[in-house]
């Protein structure tokens, strides 16, 4: 969820500060005011969650000095300068130094609001992109997004850590929505290439000629983007929908791999989406290319086979959406928990995330059930709990784990509060938490 954005107003005149702040507040913005540039610099630094509106002429450090300091610490921070009548040359100089825009007194408040809104939108995009880049370069952060404690996910995490340290190319396959692209990011982030380029190309988004140019060039004078094999040099090149490559592009790719030698300077990760079609990537690629790319291989498990991880995933995403929408997360009933476990999930984790968001939205309205969402998504899902070959004990244990997990999160790890709500003696609660791998420290 994006953080709340602010507008910092810097002006030595109290009346001006207050009038700008009041107008922007009425327009729906969060503001904070500073009587001097020196005071503002104490609070405003790199990654400041907002923008700055500053007067140019102030005692002590003026607006131009403030602008230079701010640009020195974060050159993408939008700073809007307020100038007096006749100070346009100074405003032009401010723009040259990196100011976002300027307003000449007396200015139109509506124009100020419009400029501020544009600046905030730009700032939000910059901060979100920075956060994403940090996340993608942080192996621990990415691994934490791979949620699940079942045997399939435990093995997947081990494979990512092992294969991330290897030099060979990797093939990732699995059904749509299982998290193949996230896995590719994680492989890059935990390996020796983590600080280098990560380039992702969706092969199905191009026709053959355009894909050949995107991957191998040649560049034209008007091109602003390097061919992918050059852009990713020394890092990781990810090819999504690799099964769609034509014979000619496969031949070029094989030549590129062979020219690199062993180990390759650039690691190639192929992502295949053929499982749901009843075919495999071996059917789509020439043998010599397949065996070069699939030296290391990861197959992601479908969600329907992941047992109680389904409930863990649903709860985590429901909590995130509840926080975003400012409401309580819905708690599945025993029957709904069983239906979550037995749903076919053709869209896998991506579908589950959509269901979790819709469950939060309808819970906020006070209508609807999780079961109704599952029925809408899966025509063949029956509204009654059936075992379909699974023992009742599996459903009971999964629901019990979910209930304890939810209650621990709600009470932030307070054992006494959880014991009281669930009517469990401490020894029983401790035994069940140990059984389900729940640690109090994770909820504090």
Summarize pLDDT for 223-247 with one digit per residue, the tens: 667 899 999 999 999 999 999 999 9
pLDDT, position 139: 59
| pLDDT(1) > 50 | no
Length of the chain: 444
pLDDT confidence tier of residue 385, bands split at 50, 70 and 90: very low
* pLDDT tier, 386 (very low <50, low <70, confident <90, very high otherwise): very low
Label residue 49 by pLDDT band (50, 70, 90): very high
Q: Which of 240, 233, 230 is nearest to 185 (CA)?
A: 240
Mean pLDDT value of segment 46-60: 93
Q: Note the pLDDT tens digit of each residue in 268-314.
A: 999 998 655 566 778 889 999 999 999 899 999 999 889 888 988 99
Asked whether the beta carbons of 171 and 272 are under 8 A apart, the reply is: yes
> What was the pLDDT predicted at 104?
87
Q: Which of 26, 116, 27 minimizes the C-alpha distance to 80?
A: 116
CA distance 245 to 239: 10
63/199 Cα distance (integer angstroms): 41
The answer to whether 238 and 203 have CB atoms below 8 angstroms apart is: no
**Contact present, 22 and 31 (Cβ < 8 Å):** no
Contact between 395 and 338 under an 8 Å Cβ cutoff? The reply is: yes
Strand order in 6-10's β-sheet?
30-34, 6-10, 50-55, 79-83, 101-104
* Region of poorest pLDDT, from 18-32, 104-118, 405-419: 405-419
Nearest to 97 by CA among 127, 42, 54, 35: 54
Q: Given this model, what pLDDT does residue 278 score?
A: 62
418/41 Cα distance (integer angstroms)? 46
Specify the pTM: 0.59
Question: Which residues, in sequence order, are CB contacts of 143 under 8 Å at separation 6+?
Answer: 157, 160, 161, 186, 190
Give tens-digit pLDDT for 134-191: 665 555 666 777 888 888 888 998 899 889 888 899 999 999 899 999 999 999 988 8
Beta bridge partners of 81: 54, 102
pLDDT-derived band at 254, boundaries 50, 70, 90: very high
Q: What is the pLDDT of residue 390?
A: 53
Query: Among positive and negative, which fits the CA dihedral 308, 157, 181, 318?
Result: positive
> Would you state the pLDDT for residue 240?
93
Rounded CA Rg of the chain: 27
Place 393 in a pLDDT band, splitting at 50, 70 and 90: low
Tell me the average pLDDT across 236-262.
92
DSSP string computed for 250-264? HHHHHHHHHHH-SS-
- The answer to whether the CB of 332 falls within 8 A of the CB of 340 is yes
Q: Is the pLDDT of residue 201 over 80?
A: yes
């Amino acid at each position: 969820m994006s953080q709340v954005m602010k507008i910092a107003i810097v002006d030595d005149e109290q009346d001006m500060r207050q009038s700008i702040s009041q107008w922007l507040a009425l327009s729906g913005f969060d503001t904070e005011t500073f009587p001097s540039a020196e005071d503002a610099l104490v609070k405003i630094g790199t990654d400041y969650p907002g923008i700055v509106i500053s007067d140019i002429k102030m005692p002590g450090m003026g607006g131009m000095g403030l602008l230079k300091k701010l640009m020195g610490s974060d050159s993408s921070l939008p700073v809007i300068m307020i100038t007096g009548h006749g100070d346009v040359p100074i405003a032009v100089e401010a723009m040259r130094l990196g100011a976002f825009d300027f307003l000449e007194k007396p200015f139109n408040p509506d124009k100020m609001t419009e400029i501020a809104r544009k600046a905030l939108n730009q700032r939000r995009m910059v901060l979100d992109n920075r956060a994403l880049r940090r996340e993608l370069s942080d192996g621990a952060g990415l691994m934490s997004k791979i949620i699940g404690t079942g045997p399939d996910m435990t093995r997947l995490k081990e494979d990512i850590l092992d294969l991330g340290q290897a030099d060979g190319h990797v093939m990732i396959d699995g059904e749509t929505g299982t998290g193949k692209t996230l896995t590719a990011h994680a492989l890059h982030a935990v390996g020796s290439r983590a600080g280098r380029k990560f380039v992702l190309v969706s092969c199905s988004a191009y026709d053959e000629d355009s894909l050949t140019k995107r991957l191998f060039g040649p560049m034209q004078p008007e091109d602003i983007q390097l061919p992918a094999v050059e852009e990713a040099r020394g890092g990781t090149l990810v090819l999504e929908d690799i099964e769609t490559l034509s014979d000619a592009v496969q031949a070029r790719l094989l030549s590129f791999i062979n020219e690199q030698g062993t180990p390759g300077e650039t690691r190639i990760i192929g992502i295949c989406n053929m499982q749901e079609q009843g075919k495999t990537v071996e059917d789509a690629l020439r043998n010599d290319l397949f065996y070069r790319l699939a030296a290391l291989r990861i197959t992601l498990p479908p969600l329907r086979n992941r047992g109680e991880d389904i409930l863990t995933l649903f709860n985590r995403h429901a909590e995130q959406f509840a926080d975003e929408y400012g409401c309580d997360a819905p708690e599945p009933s025993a029957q709904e928990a069983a239906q979550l476990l037995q749903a076919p999930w053709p869209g896998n984790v991506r579908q589950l995330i959509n269901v979790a968001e819709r469950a939060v939205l309808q819970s906020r309205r006070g209508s609807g059930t999780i079961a109704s969402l599952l029925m809408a998504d899966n025509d063949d899902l029956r509204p009654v709990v059936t075992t379909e070959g699974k023992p009742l004990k599996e459903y009971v244990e999964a629901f019990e784990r979910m209930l304890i997990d939810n209650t621990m999160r709600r009470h932030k790890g307070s054992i006494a509060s959880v014991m009281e709500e669930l009517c469990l003696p401490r020894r029983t609660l401790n035994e069940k938490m140990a059984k389900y791998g729940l640690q109090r420290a994770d909820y504090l």
